[in-house]
Structure 1
Amino acid sequence: EKMNASNGVATDFFTMQGTNGGNIRWQGNVNTLKVHDGSILGFGASTSLQDTDMEIFHVSNESYIRDTGAGTLFIQTDGPSITLGSTANNLALSATFVPGGAINLYHNYGKKFETTSNGIDVTGLVEFDSLSGTGAVAIT
């Protein structure tokens, strides 16, 4: 199969086929780079293809973002927050992180834990296996 190209620019689609069936396919009609199971997107300064600092891949039913380097993995935004939740239901939040601000944790669609400028705010029951402390402890 020929790849359509004009002035060094490929159009339509093309497939890069791996030795173990891990294909990578560009689909120009939908602007999608599809990385099949068994293929890894590797990032980093290493000259070895088997030695990367960060990897993004999918195997069977599991998806991975893996930091394999010596440094820190940063997740950053210039937007209002970073949100962890379900793609199937935008209301099914697990956590939101506001840069320089609150961290919110959710359970069954309700906020249960929030960091504030004064400390934390907990909604619902708090259970302890044991409780000890120094200084002022007031539980009502």
Structure 2
Amino acid sequence: MEVYELSEGIKLFLQDDALIVSSENDMITVSSAVYNGGFKQARFLLNVHVPENYNQFLLHKNPEHLVLKKISELNLPPEQSVGMITAADMKNFSLVTKCADDLKVSAIVTAGCSNAETAGEPINAFLMPGTINIMVIIHGQPT
């Protein structure tokens, strides 16, 4: 497991099947996540990998199942967790942090590229919907 320090009290953990942001204090979240989405307070943000052979019917019927399974594996409090899912490979995530004065912002992104094509070339692939999951951590008090 790899660990990235985002700021004092906030860390990002990279596992084979998940990215987990952990905060010592409550974070105010605004999210379209499948688990605990909406306007919440949370200490844990999860981006959980959907295995390639996962049952598509179950995935669409109960998308939060994978998130709850990971929350249970990690012994995290479900009420303090927000979770999303993706088929993207976790090791290909991007992390960028920028600072200006007293403000620090980190962006953590996963995106699938199995449908990737070259701009301007004919598209020969079977197009399937995919996900781009973005977690933006603002280390400060935005106005």
Higher strand share: 2
Same fold (TM over 0.5): no
Computing the radius of gyration from Cα coordinates, the structure with the larger value is: 1
Higher helix share: 2
